[in-house]
Every structure is written in structure tokens, then in C-alpha cells.
């Protein structure tokens, strides 16, 4: 089902010549901006980030940037697993209070005691409310939240320059709904090899695909990956 959707999309947008070319490749995924000097780990983070930006931009979703600090130093023992659990508790509290799901991409950087930087699709959250909620869950009051505006390219450039190039990060995560469940597997299966051979055409096709694809409500993770 997914394969034929992809074929139809190529035929509608670019015609038979590109379809013939695509069928000559097997796997792949995109990176939309110059990434010279970034490690492979940071390039993966960039790809996950810009794919979500592209889908959000195409669908008119509001994007926001949230920063959450940690309460104690690393020697005190805030494990990433516990920090992640506290963030998931915060997401549930936001959903109960504001009635929307936080669809996110996040990294934990090594600033200070460790900081979570989260890009998410969702509505307005007052900073005072967020500070009080995070303090009650995790014991830290210092937070920041702001709207993100601009094209996917501009947003990704800003975040990469400030949070990927200047610092190292320890953990990367994202929710299934940041793009859609199984999108990384699809990138590796249908796009990555093509990207190495013809990056411009591959990125164009990937961005169109990410923007338009609708996951069937009955689809399971395995079916998206063909297994």
C-alpha cells in the first residue's frame, strides 16, 4: 500500500522519467541543509528535526521551542531514563490541562547539569504554568518557551547553529507523531542510497512525501516498514 502511494506521488508530480530513476534505487533519507563539519550523530538529529519541520510547515501546525533544566548536577544522579519519564509526565499534564498533545523532537545537551531542548507542535503554554509544573514534577523552576516562526530551512539553521554545532548532545528522541510512525525506516529503505547519488532530487521527493503522506488509521508499525 505504501509503495504504491509513493509510486503514484512520483507519477503525479514528476512523471515517468523520475519514476524510472527512483526504481533503480532501494534505500535512503534526506538532509536539507549544508551539514559540513557535523558528526554522523548530529546529522541524524538534523534529519529527524527537519523532517518534522517540513511536515508541520505543509500542514500549518504551530511550532514552539521549550527548554527544561535539570534540578541537580550529574553526580547527583538524574539519569536520562528518569528525566525522560518526568518529561512524559509533563506531556500528560499538558494534555489534561490544555487539551492538546505535545508532538515533539528533543535533545538533551550537556550544558550545566543537563538541559532538554524540545521542539514541539502544539498550542500556547504560559511560561509561569510551565515553570510551576516542571518544578512540581522534577524540582527545577528554570524553563523557557517560545513560538517558532519561519521556513523549515530557517528554523533548522537556527537550531543547528545554536544547539547542535556549539554543544554536544547526549540523547535524541522524538514522538511518533512528530512526523509519523515508521518514517525513519522509510527513509532508509527508499531514500538514503538515492540521496548519496542525487541529493537534490532525493530531497525534493522526500519533502513532498513527508508533507503529504497520510498514515492509514489501521496501519501498524510493521506494515509501514514492509514487515
Provide the domain count of the chain: 1
Per the structure, the complete domain to which residue 91 belongs is given by: 2-224
Q: Produce one character per residue of 190-226: b if its CB has 16 or more CB atoms within 10 Å, e if not.
A: bbbbbbeebeeebbbbbbbbbeebebeeeeeeeebee
The pLDDT of 177-189, averaged and rounded, is 93
Q: Please tell me the pTM assigned to this model.
A: 0.75
| pLDDT of 120 above 80 | yes
Across the chain, which distance is largest between two alpha carbons, in Å? 60
If you average pLDDT over every residue of the chain, what do you get?
Answer: 77
Cα distance between residue 169 and residue 165, in whole Å: 10
| pLDDT of 9 above 90 | no
**The pLDDT of residue 18:** 43
The pLDDT of 158-187, averaged and rounded, is 80
Amino acid at each position: 500500500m505504501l509503495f504504491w502511494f509513493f509510486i503514484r506521488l512520483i507519477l503525479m508530480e514528476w512523471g515517468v522519467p523520475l519514476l524510472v530513476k527512483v526504481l533503480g534505487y532501494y534505500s535512503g533519507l534526506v538532509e536539507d541543509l549544508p551539514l559540513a563539519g557535523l558528526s554522523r550523530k548530529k546529522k541524524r538529529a538534523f534529519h529527524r528535526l527537519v523532517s518534522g519541520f517540513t511536515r508541520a510547515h505543509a500542514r500549518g501546525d504551530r511550532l514552539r521551542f521549550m527548554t527544561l533544566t535539570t534540578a541537580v548536577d550529574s553526580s547527583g544522579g538524574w539519569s536520562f531514563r528518569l528525566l525522560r519519564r518526568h518529561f512524559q509526565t509533563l506531556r500528560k499534564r499538558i494534555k489534561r490541562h490544555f487539551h492538546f498533545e505535545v508532538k515533539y523532537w528533543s535533545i538533551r545537551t550537556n550544558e550545566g547539569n543537563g538541559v532538554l531542548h524540545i521542539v514541539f507542535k502544539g498550542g500556547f503554554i504560559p511560561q509561569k504554568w510551565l515553570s510551576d509544573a516542571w518544578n512540581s514534577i522534577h524540582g527545577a523552576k528554570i524553563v523557557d518557551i517560545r513560538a517558532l516562526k519561519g521556513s523549515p530551512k530557517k528554523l533548522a539553521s537556527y537550531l543547528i547553529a545554536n544547539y547542535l554545532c556549539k554543544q554536544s548532545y547526549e540523547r535524541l528522541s522524538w514522538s511518533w507523531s512528530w512526523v509519523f510512525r515508521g518514517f525513519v525506516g522509510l527513509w532508509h529503505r527508499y531514500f538514503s542510497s538515492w540521496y548519496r547519488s542525487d541529493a537534490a532530487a532525493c530531497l525534493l521527493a522526500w519533502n513532498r512525501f513527508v508533507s503529504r503522506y497520510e498514515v492509514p488509521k489501521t496501519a501498524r508499525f510493521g506494515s509501514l516498514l514492509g514487515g
